[in-house]
Chain A
Amino acid sequence: MSLAVEEGEIFGLLGPNGAGKTTIVNCICGLVSPDSGDCLIFGKSTSSFGKRVFEEMNFVSGNSAFHRKETPRDILSFYSGVYENPEDTGKLVELFGIAPFIDREFGSLSTGQKSRVLLAKALINRPKLLILDEPTLGLDPDISKTVREMIRKVSSEGTTVLLTSHYMNEVEELCRRIAFVSKGRILDIGSVARLKKSRLGKKATFRFVLSKGSTAGQEAGLKNLKRQGFSFSNGVVSKKGFPGDALEILSQIKKSGLSFDEFDLSKPNLEDYFLEMARVSDEEAP
């Protein structure tokens, strides 16, 4: 595996469960030693950087936790004491809306509240490298939005962000480049647009929602469409094709004799890419 993340970029790591994303993140954080090779942070090897590198990086993962008896106030107070140049904790409390539960024990907080505390802790040392493993898992949409805005803001200030997420829209919205990991190997790496294009082409999905009342000749019409490469599911007829195929597809639909209530055209998104790559990695399985 060879992977380089450039300073200041937001880089996404994608892959199915068990692909090795967390192992990569743990290697970067010095929690796991790589079997071979090395991991460099700001040009220094993780095997020799000592503890000083943690002044410049921070990390939050889906299974990060604090002691159940500590309150958010305790946690932020502790972390602001261990870094040389800590952020104003009041600012972080305000940014993540922590004030209403600042004196409650961590063990009694909801998943969303815990995530907010973890994220506040992740920004307390104004990190140059921020590693976020599933940062918005279990968060309300408004807090997720705040987190995405926070990621964009710290990135615009020069922080490098390494992000793993199962929310494809989030990765597509935030990341300039991504790597698709499977079985401990990188199958694909590059810009989101280029990877989608290389794996899915410019193919779009044409979707037609069947009229509710249409029954006469429906079966024959659908059979005819299926023969021409259309698929049918839950009252929706769809076909993948290039935008230039639109007239031909519409003509095939017209000839089928079926009537439709709705039509839409969707461009391939990162979810389509993920599903395609998951299929590719399954096919490559021994």
Chain B
Amino acid sequence: MGSLSRISSTIKRFFRILFRSNSRKVELIYDPIVLLITWGFFFITFRDSPIAAVFFSSSILWHLSYSFQSTFNLMTLEDVWNDCFKESIIIPVTFLEYLASKAIASLIRNLIKVVAMIALATVFFGYSVFLDNPIEYSLILAELFLLATAVALAIDSIILVAGREAQTLAWSANSLIILFACPYYPLEILPRFLQPIAEFSPYFAPFQQMKGLVLGAGAGFSFWNLVPIAAYLGISALLFSLAISKSRNDGTLARF
């Protein structure tokens, strides 16, 4: 009861903050619609090529992974911008409860986007891959959500240590990571020395699963996919714990 009450109160707080701002409400609808329409027209233009379906799917999943991650970071940044992050430290909410609340709030907020994007893609552009493979796509989305949470946690850690100067990572880090996930091109296109890095990069496996699904060939979901996800989450949690500790030692935690 105690832990659930703390988590649900924290989630409600994040929602009040995220949904009370008009710009955040507009952002929730505007970004996915514009992106979907742009890539939707691309898909219609090259409908006969399977590459068009890969591009369309990749762009949607790329946006969702970015959105899962940036929403998580945004909740930290909202507190940092308002000088009230330290208030989250001096209450009985544990770090695990705090991080779980942020992840759940991010998931719920972005489920609105997921539903809207799938509906628009299906209705307006006749793109039915999501509805034809609901379980497979749900697993890919779940993997992306967990990996985006791990990336966001690492970014939070950097913000806690480096301060507000590092806040741009919340918007820029995903662009770099996605480069290695090979969403629009095969792994072999990358220079040879980058290929092992790409294979171990966070989003590589889910994007390969998506390509396999759309092109009808390639790796599907395997429970082994959960191993790197667990490793990424574990490393990020460790980084966050070290960042809190360093920030406490440096005296910067009291200034957030």
Query: Do A81 and B20 touch across chains, with their CB atoms under 8 A apart?
Result: no
Question: Which single member of B84, B92, B245 contacts A54 (CB below 8 Å)?
Answer: B92
In the complex, whether A78 has a CB less than 8 A from a CB of chain B is yes
* Residues of B42-86 contacting chain A, CB below 8 A: 78-79, 82-84, 86
Q: How many residues of A contact B (CB 8 A)?
A: 31
What per-residue 1/0 map shows which CB atoms of B86-117 lie under 8 Å from chain A?
A: 11011111100000000000000000000000
Q: Could you say which residues of chain B place their CB within 8 Å of the CB of A66?
A: 82, 84, 87
Q: Does A63 contact B (CB under 8 A)?
A: yes
Contact A82 B6 (CB under 8 A): yes
A72 → B minimal CB distance (Å) = 13
Question: Is B248 close to A, CB under 8 A?
Answer: yes
The residue on A at minimum CB distance from B95 is: A51
A95 at the interface (CB under 8 A from B): no
Chain A's nearest CB lies how many Å from the CB of B74? 12
Chain B contact residues: over half helix, strand or loop, or mixed?
A: helix
List residues of chain A with CB within 8 A of the CB of B78: 67
Assess A31 versus B10: contact at CB under 8 Å? Given A51-B92, A67-B17, A82-B91.
no
A31-B254, A33-B248 known; A82 vs B93 contact (CB < 8 Å): yes
Does B8 belong to the interface (CB within 8 Å)?
yes
Report Cα–Cα, A26/B2, bound state, in Å.
26
Decide if A29 is an interface residue (CB 8 Å cutoff).
Answer: yes
Pair A31/B17 contact, Cβ less than 8 Å: no
B128 within 8 A of A: no
Q: Please state if B12 and A81 are interface contacts (CB–CB under 8 Å).
A: yes
B168 at the interface (CB under 8 A from A): no
**Is A52 interfacial (CB-CB < 8 Å)?**
yes
B249 within 8 A of A: yes
Question: Does B9 sit within 8 A of A, measured CB to CB?
Answer: yes
Closest 6 CB pairs of A and B: A81-B9, A31-B254, A69-B20, A26-B254, A54-B92, A67-B82
Q: Which residues in B have some Cβ–Cβ distance to A below 8 Å? A: 2, 5-6, 8-10, 12-13, 16-17, 20-21, 78-79, 82-84, 86-87, 89-94, 245, 248-249, 251, 253-254
